[in-house]
């Protein structure tokens, strides 16, 4: 008891001198930590536009996007996102109360940004949080239609490249679908693909028209990763072995 009586004046002195953080300061630190974690989730080496970064940030729980500046993550200083987050802490004493604050921070998204770097404290811009339209959906690759349209060649025959090209033209493919056709030794290979981003698996379909068999398939995801060569017309003619 005597020890507690001796410590009490010291505790009051510490509080009076600002040694112990206030509940509001602790709540602000919690809000800043939420913004820092959001920055970590947005970190990526994949190039993205400012709109893509803003859309991703707005999808993080507890994060409001108030402003996005910059063009893309790989241009100049990258993209800066002003986010609003909240934090809470409790007051001391016998009847603690919860203190909740909402603060704004600037988060930089760029390959040059340090992992987990602290966001910058900023004033909250006026106006409501930004909203972003959903990303455009990539065109559907016509798996069933391709299998139904490609010609069948009897055993002992030869696939006709011109006939295969006419079959593809009849599908009226979306302009963003790349089509490639190659003939080799009585067989014809077909590639239908959608342009990838250079980091994620690419969407593609392969087909091979050969005497006695017309096949359509999508390569395994691992083969569709950049540099793996799965989305090539050569893989249609001579398929790679499945990944282990």
86 plus 165 within the same structural domain: no
Tokens found for residue 163: 């006939």
pLDDT above 60: residue 115: yes
Sheet (strand 79-90) strand order: 64-69, 79-90, 98-109, 120-122
Nearest by Cα to 63 from 50, 54, 71 = 54
CA separation for the pair 232, 187 (Å, rounded): 15
**194 belongs to a structural domain:** yes
94 plus 40 within the same structural domain: yes
Cβ contacts of residue 195 below 8 Å, gap of 6+?
A: 176, 178, 202
pLDDT at 10: 42
**8 belongs to a structural domain:** no
pLDDT in tens, 138-189: 899 999 999 999 999 999 999 999 999 999 999 999 999 999 999 999 999 9
* Structure-derived torsion over alpha carbons of residues 230, 235, 240, 244, reported in degrees to the nearest 10: 20
Q: What is the mean pLDDT of residues 70-97?
A: 92
pLDDT above 60: residue 5: no
Q: Which of 14-23, 102-111, 171-180 is the least confident region?
A: 14-23
pLDDT in tens, 189-208: 999 999 887 788 999 999 99
Domain end residue (candidates: 64, 87, 122): 122
pLDDT above 60: residue 233: yes
107 plus 71 within the same structural domain: yes
- Length of the chain, please? 244
**65 belongs to a structural domain:** yes
| Domain housing 87 | 22-122
The number of distinct structural domains making up the chain is: 2
**102 belongs to a structural domain:** yes
29 plus 116 within the same structural domain: yes
170 plus 110 within the same structural domain: no
């Amino acid at each position: 008891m005597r020890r507690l009586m001796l410590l009490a004046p010291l505790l009051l002195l510490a509080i009076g001198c600002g040694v112990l953080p206030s509940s509001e300061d602790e709540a602000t630190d919690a809000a800043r930590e939420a913004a820092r974690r959001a920055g970590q989730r947005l970190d990526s080496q994949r190039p993205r536009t400012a709109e893509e970064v803003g859309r991703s940030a707005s999808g993080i729980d507890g994060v409001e996007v108030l402003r996005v500046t910059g063009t893309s993550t790989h241009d100049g200083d990258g993209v800066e996102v002003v986010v609003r987050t909240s934090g809470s802490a409790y007051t001391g004493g016998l009847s603690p109360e919860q203190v909740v604050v909402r603060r704004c921070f600037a988060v930089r998204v760029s390959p040059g940004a340090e992992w987990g770097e602290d966001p910058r404290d900023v004033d909250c811009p006026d106006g409501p949080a930004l909203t972003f339209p959903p990303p455009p959906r990539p065109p559907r690759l016509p798996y069933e239609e391709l299998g139904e349209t490609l010609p069948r060649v009897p055993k002992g025959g030869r696939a006709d490249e011109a006939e295969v090209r006419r079959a593809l033209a009849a599908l009226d493919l979306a302009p963003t679908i790349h089509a490639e056709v190659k003939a080799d030794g009585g067989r014809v290979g077909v590639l239908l693909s959608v342009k990838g981003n250079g980091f994620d698996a690419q969407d593609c379909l392969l087909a091979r028209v050969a005497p006695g068999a017309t096949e359509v398939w999508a390569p395994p995801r691992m083969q569709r990763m950049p540099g793996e060569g799965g989305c090539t017309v050569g893989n249609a003619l001579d398929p790679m072995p499945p990944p282990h």
